[in-house]
Amino acid sequence: MKRLLWGLGFLLTALLAANALTYLNFDPTYNFLRLKQAAIATGWYLPAYYAHVLVGGIILVAGLFQLHPKSIQKFKSIHRFLGYVYVMGILFFAAPGGLVMSLFIQRGPWVLTSFLLQACLWFVFTALAFDRIRKKDIAAHRRWMIRSYALTFAAVTLRVYVLISSFHYSLNVPEAYATIAWLSWVPNLLIAELIIRQTTSSHRTPHSSHTQQTN
């Protein structure tokens, strides 16, 4: 089951990353961008968009590789390199780009609040993960990385919810898109906390049993 979930995760992230790379043509009227011409005219939106989307596609795949249990066991040097790519990509490109893009969303205050909060938490969680690994606190580093990637993976869950909802609801209705905006990342964080609790308890169990035997 775990292999199936990892495989599905890599497939979805690879597809989204491949879609992001199509914007390398740098055509300001390409696909989604043709709907954002007023925002592009300000001069702020397009650089933020490319920083968020193009770098986001890279960190989406890199982050999933980082979290795979075997990445640090068998590919330590690659793990370290991709870790820097992931962290710097978010802190200097993807999160600031997402923050600027959020300011041009015209779907009501709830959608704006959702994406602004997500971008801020994404930046903070990633910065904390970087700070903890610099202090050699590997356990705390992994916990913050899991939280960070939960928000990175929101790029996937957002599109899944949009696709599913488009068959039943009109996304032009503010309430419908607002619901999707929050669902794209809040449940991800809840799942991340469950994973953290599960891994923490599993690491403590052998220690606890050993303590009981030695007392």
Residues with Cβ within 8 Å of residue 77, at least 6 apart in sequence: none
Residues with Cβ within 8 Å of residue 84, at least 6 apart in sequence: none
Q: Taking residues 5-27, report their average pLDDT.
A: 78
Residue 69 carries which side chain, given as an amino acid letter? P
For the whole model, what pTM was predicted?
0.87
Provide long-range contacts, Cβ within 8 A and 24+ apart, for 131-135.
133/83
Output the pLDDT for position 1: 66
Question: Is 60 exceeded by the pLDDT of residue 205?
Answer: no
Q: Percentage of the chain with pLDDT > 70?
A: 91
| Burial state string for 177-190 with b = 16 or more CB within 10 A and e = fewer than 16 | bbbbbbbbbbebbe
Output the pLDDT for position 207: 46
Give the CA distances from residue 102 to residues 49, 99, 130, 140, 170, in Å, rounded to whole numbers and listed in that order.
Answer: 10, 5, 25, 30, 21
Domain ranges across the chain: 2-204
CA distance 47 to 55: 12
pLDDT digits (tens, 9 = 90+) for 113-124: 999 999 999 999
Question: Is 60 exceeded by the pLDDT of residue 97?
Answer: yes
pLDDT digits (tens, 9 = 90+) for 20-70: 777 777 889 988 899 899 999 999 999 999 999 999 999 999 998 888 877
Residues with Cβ within 8 Å of residue 59, at least 6 apart in sequence: 85, 86, 89, 90, 94, 152
